[in-house]
Amino acid sequence: MTSFLSTVATVFRKEMWEHFKTWRLIVIGGIFAFVFIVISLYGGILVGQGNTQLSFKAGANSVLALVLSFTGFFPGLMAIVISYTAIVGERSRKSLILLTSKPVKRPALFTGKFLSSYFAIVLVYMVVMTVGYIGVVAASGNVPSLEDVGRAYGAVAFVIFAMACWVVFAMFLSSLLKNPITVAVSAIMVWFLVMPIVSQIGTIYWLVTTNQEDNAPDGVGLNLIPQGGGDMVLLTGSTTTMYEIRNDTGPVQGIKLQSIYIMGNLPDGNYTWNARGGGIDRNGTLVIDGRAPFSVIFDGPLTVSVMQGINVTLEKDGRTVTPSADGGSGPFRNITYRGSIGNCHLKISKGDQVLFTGGYEITGRHGGGPFAAMATGSAPDYVKYNQLINPDSAMSGYEKVLDPDATSLISPAEGATALLIFFLVFLSLGLLVFSKMEMA
């Protein structure tokens, strides 16, 4: 055992020195640092926010979530680039014959090479992530709690684990194949093309076998359109939803066209409204003043469009919810709340005047087709398990580590288990192939 560990340590030191003698690690670290900075500054725009100020105000973990979501492909690529020549490179230079001619165990050689490649890339990654995280904290002025920091590095741990999977996979190919270019091309094709396709087979099957008629949207849209003497209100949802608007004199008559309920020439005043059926149960009040148009979409994400100067507040369990996006251009603001499904209360006001209030609750299935259901984490289990085949998909368990209310399809425990299985399978195969391979 002592001889085994001694060999591992010797190989580890030699290979680490070789890694840091080249420019490869520096280039990889520089590229990742550049991507981190760009996503930190402009990632909010890419997900539909008008600017990134909201992310920075929400704190370092909010920005980190953006960075991880946009750089999920980096672990595989970084790991493959740094490790694909670990064995096949020695073989092509004929130095592997000299190494294995000494009284050392091949599993010790393989383990030492794996650890050196892995720790080299993890070191670069951790330096960039830590410096970037500290930079975001400084830029936001919002010092995270110890719990937030723990969540942040818990999420990063998933990325580091995914790197181990791809390093050991690249080394398996490096032992199996005899040409460095073949190893690189094969590893990148599996990472970039084969794994994503295989992990989406379940989703594709779900899409083609789902009866779309059973997936009518279970959201409700309420649009107020001022028209001078009498305003128009549009309520939209599924074809099975029944709508009603009432004022002091009773129900207001409207016209239902498929999934749209239209009420026109509504005088200024106070109204109550409700929408029920097809998995929907919404109700609230509506104030019409002829001057403030707005749109409210009660669906997976809650989306509100209002004119500048109009206040929008969402409360859940008695606490104010921070919007996930607040932007827009010109006279309108677009505000989005994600992950706030449940007993919520929305209020739109102009000064002291309440223009709209509405309960936000989903009862029953989520409609809108498979993609809408995936946004709420309600896809069939076989879709989730199929995605767990791919380390990059399994890594997405970090989302719930950062935010327990996230709608990620994959839980942290499921993601960690899938990564462990992938790692152990290809570690075993790599050790087996390397132990049996011919050195010539």
The gap between the terminal CA atoms of the chain, to the nearest Å, is 28
Q: Which one has a higher pLDDT value, 394 or 256? A: 394
Which of 293-302, 322-331, 357-366, 386-395 is the most confident on average?
A: 386-395
What's the pLDDT score for residue 154?
Answer: 95
Q: Which of 13-17, 25-29, 87-91, 286-290 has the lowest mean pLDDT?
A: 286-290
What's the pLDDT score for residue 167?
Answer: 96
> Can you state the angle between helices 60-70 and 24-46, rounded to 10 degrees?
110
Place of tokens 């073949």: 182
What's the pLDDT score for residue 365?
Answer: 42
Distance CA 4, CA 263 (A): 80
* Run of H or E including 110: helix 106-140
**Average predicted confidence (pLDDT) for the chain:** 81
What's the pLDDT score for residue 159?
Answer: 93
Q: Which residues contact 183 (CB under 8 A, 6 or more apart)?
A: 84, 85, 88, 170, 173, 174, 177
Report residue 21's pLDDT band, with 50, 70 and 90 as the boundaries.
confident
Is the confidence at residue 277, as pLDDT, over 90? no
What's the pLDDT score for residue 425?
Answer: 97
Mean pLDDT, residues 320-329 taken together: 75
Distance CA 336, CA 49 (A): 9
Is the confidence at residue 370, as pLDDT, over 70? no
| Cβ(66)–Cβ(47) below 8 Å | yes
What's the pLDDT score for residue 140?
Answer: 82
Nearest to 223 by CA among 309, 298, 323: 298
Report residue 91's pLDDT band, with 50, 70 and 90 as the boundaries.
confident
Nearest to 281 by CA among 316, 240, 320: 240
Torsion of CA 169, 174, 177, 183, to 10 degrees: 80
What's the pLDDT score for residue 317?
Answer: 77
| Cβ(65)–Cβ(402) below 8 Å | yes
Report residue 96's pLDDT band, with 50, 70 and 90 as the boundaries.
low
The alpha carbon dihedral of 352, 353, 358, 359 has a sign of positive
What's the pLDDT score for residue 190?
Answer: 95
Could you please report the per-residue DSSP string of 343-397?
SEEEEEEETTEEEEEEEE-B-S---SHHHHHHTTT---HHHHHHHTTSHHHHGGG
Q: Please tell me the pTM assigned to this model.
A: 0.68
| Cβ(309)–Cβ(294) below 8 Å | no
